[in-house]
Structure 1
Amino acid sequence: MRQLFFVLLSLSASFPAMALTFQTRLENVEWNVEGDQFECRLVQPITDFGSGVFVRRAGEQAVFRLNAHNSILGEGPATLLAAAAPWQPGRGDINLGTVRIGRGNVLFNSSQTQAGRLFRGLLEGRSPVIRHYSAVGGVSEVRLLPVKFRQAYGDYEACTGKLLAKNFDQVRQSQIGFPGGGTDLDAKARASLQIILQYMKADPKANHIMLDGYSDNSGNRLTNRELSRRRALAVMDYFKDNGLQESQITIRFHGEQYPVAPNNNAVNRAKNRRVSVRLERVSEPAKPTSTAAITDPAAVS
């Protein structure tokens, strides 16, 4: 009996652990397009698992995301493939590299490069496949199918065509330069401010602007403080001319303090002639006043 036990044990060890494959039946496959000005999503639900999602935020390229209802895959590295279809003889799978399976509902986000190659693979009839090897030798595989993809991809591209130029993380901090040394806004500065205004129009929660004016050290201290003030006021006036209320804007001016580069050559001095624009979300806008809130840093330093 003891010998039989060891024979059965050795036989079981010679077989690999059972593989798990998650895939929606061919006749049930669907691609859904969701989104707005801030983000577009192209989604394939995966039966008894979750979904595979291409996500593109405003101002960025798409990534591929795997969502799960549970943690059945377990944590650790997995291989991402653009797998050839059975009806494509002679075509091998394309290994797109490693992703790391984590905890929670979102198991991983691919790189933008990986997502771009998955898009190309789907348009060629390939399947995105996530293959995970467990510590005990088992293999789990999640597969999306290219069925109905091309039409959905067209709808997804229509959605991305309406995205804002940038997302909140990209517009919340901006630098408006004054390379010529004066206080007038050039075309590049106005274009940057228009992007901020466009975002604020789309997102009413982003409703307050903080402006900090700076100069280089070319003049005396009082002259530099006045230049930094006038630069901040120039940006404030542009915002006001384009519909913002004074109560939504706070300005400060710092003169030659807090340089971003040493004032040791013309290029660096141009970098220091700037207004820092910070976009904020505040729950209650400040009460209207006759002038914008202007903070003299000398009073708080």
Structure 2
Amino acid sequence: MRLRYFALLSLFASLPATAITFQTRLEKVEWKVEGDQFECRLAQPVTRFGSGEFVRRAGEQATFRLKAGERWMGPGSATLLAAAAPWQPGRGDISLGVVSVGSGEIPFNSSQQQAARLLSGLLEGRSPVVRHRTQQGGEALEVRLLPAKFEQAYNDYLACTAKLLPVNFDQIKQAQIGFPSGGTALDDLGRAKLDIILQFLKADPSVNRILLDGHSDNSGNRLTNRDLSRRRALAVQEYLQANGVPAEQITLRFHGERYPLAPNTNEANRAKNRRVTLRLEREAQSVAPAAAPGEAS
């Protein structure tokens, strides 16, 4: 049965096609797994084209993309398929919709749902296929990955993803630490958020500036609210420093009731406004003016 599998696939690869087809010969197919705490990649080099790869960032699910050595693909919409193998009669191709193709080395990134279906298709013996048109002349173009040798590589990829951090930089570069009860002490949810941020900071030393902006609702007088916002920012600062963040990397500011997230018209909105905004910056980025601190809902 295994010999029949290889014979049929080799025959399929040699069949004439109306499209310009990029596909690695079966005997040369390989999958490569690379990654670290921030990102894992599962890729198959494609002869004369570049590669097709699944990329999973920390805190996210995988997407699928092509990397092109030359600008083969013109702008527009390409069709993405989980194509049936020729040795599985009766199974049709599964269309996964379209992807928007742009310029550059990486012309597109699929959705997470499309990538998940391609991965499950590879485990079933299906091929990820991208169909589009060439940059010059508009001829039909097809890029095909083969499922050969996939299972072991997929297991290695899963081992890589198990070591990913729970979040990536884009997800935590701006965060809210809430004080919904109206006090100045961190609650369990606030500490849990800070623990995730601290885990990332220990893994990524390029993040070397933390801006803390304390806020309050408008329940008290202006001086009281300003002091509450200061004490909330201090509570976050002290927690960070107690867990290894150098004091010189932290900038603390407090604004009282001046920058509400929501109108102070009811208790739920006032609870949202009792917060500290935490912003992470890398290397030599400048500090934003205190009059317009960044917010995240």
1:121-132 aligned within 5 A: 121-132=121-132
Answering whether residue 181 of structure 2 is matched by residue 157 of structure 1, we say no
CA contact (8 A) 1:205 1:283 kept: no
Letter in 1 for 2:237: M
Equivalent residue of 1:142, what SS? strand
Deviations 1:43-96 (A, max 9, x none): 000000000010000111110011111112322221100000001110000000
Counterparts of 1:221 and 1:63, CA distance in 2: 49
Shift of 1:157: 0.7
1:137 Cα offset (Å): 6.9
Q: Which residue of 2 aligns with 1:106?
A: 106
Q: Alignment length, in residue pairs? A: 272
Q: Indicate how the Cα distance of structure 1 residues 296 and 173 shifts in structure 2: closer, same or farther if over 3 A, else same.
A: closer
Structure 2 residue matching 1:33: 3-state secondary structure: strand
Instruction: For structure 1, list consecutive stretches of 5 or more residues without a partner in the other structure.
Output: 1-16, 286-294
Range that drifts further, 196-205 or 99-108: 99-108
* Structure 1 position 18, deviation (Å): 4.6
Question: Aligned in 2, Cα 1:150/1:296: closer, same or farther, shift over 3 Å?
Answer: closer
Q: Kindly tell me: are residues 272 and 82 of structure 1, through their superposed partners in 2, closer, same or farther at Cα, counting changes over 3 Å?
A: same
- How does 1:162-177 map onto structure 2 within 5 Å? 162-177=163-178
Matched, 1:57 2:57: yes
In 2: Cα distance, 1:36 partner to 1:91 partner: 37
TM-score, normalised with respect to structure 1 = 0.87
| CA distance in 1 between partners of 2:213 and 2:78 (Å) | 47
Counterpart in 1 of 2:33? 33
C-alpha distance in 2, partners of 1:190/1:267?
Answer: 21
Whether contact under 8 Å (2:165, 2:200) holds in the other structure is yes
- 1:74 and 1:104 map into 2 onto residues whose CA distance is 10
For structure 2, the residue ranges without an aligned partner over 5 or more in a row are: 1-16, 292-297
Q: Tell me the amino acid that sits aligned with residue 198 of structure 2.
A: L
Alignment check: 8 A CA contact 1:18 1:138 kept: no
1:1-301 paired onto structure 2 within 5 Å: 18-133=18-133, 138-283=139-284
Q: Which runs of 4+ in 1 moved over 3 A?
A: 133-138
Residue 104 of structure 1 and its aligned partner are, at CA, apart by: 1.2
> CA 1:250/1:69 → structure 2, altered by over 3 Å: closer, same or farther?
same
The 8 Å contact of residues 74 and 138 in structure 2, kept in 1 or not, is answered as no
SS, match of residue 108 in structure 1? coil
Q: CA deviation at 1:174?
A: 0.4
Alignment partners' CA distance in 1, 2:92 and 2:290: 67
CA deviation profile, 1:155-207 (whole Å, cap 9, x unmatched): 10110111111111111100000011000101100010011111111111101
Give 1:120's aligned amino acid: S
User: d(CA) in 2 for partners of 1:67 and 1:137?
Assistant: 19
| CA-based RMSD | 1.9
- Letter of the structure 2 residue corresponding to residue 98 of structure 1: V
Deviation at 1:231, TM superposition (A): 0.2
Q: Equivalent residue of 2:108, what SS?
A: strand
Q: Offset of 1:131 from its aligned partner?
A: 0.9
> Alpha carbons of 1:215 and 1:153: their partners in 2 closer, same or farther (altered >3 Å)?
same
For residues 285 and 170 of structure 2, what CA distance do their matches in structure 1 show?
21
AA partner of residue 254 (structure 2): F
Cα distance in 2 for partners of 1:133, 1:36 equals 35
Task: Tell me which amino acid in the other structure corresponds to 2:245.
Answer: L
Deviates more, 1:68-77 or 1:244-253: 68-77
Amino acid at match of 1:101: V
Tell me the SS of whatever aligns to 1:130: strand
Whole-angstrom distance in 1 between the partners of 2:22 and 2:149: 19
After superposition, the Cα gap between the structure-2 partners of 1:156 and 1:212, relative to the gap in structure 1 and judged at 3 Å, is same
Counterpart amino acid of 1:152?
A
Q: Which has the larger radius of gyration?
A: 1
Contact kept, 8 Å, 1:79 with 1:131, in 2: the verdict is yes
Q: Structure 2: how far apart are the matches of 1:51 and 1:282?
A: 32
| Other structure's SS at 2:239 match | helix
Contact 2:79–2:131, Cα closer than 8 Å, also in 1: yes
Q: Note if contact 2:39-2:55 (Cα within 8 Å) is conserved in structure 1.
A: yes
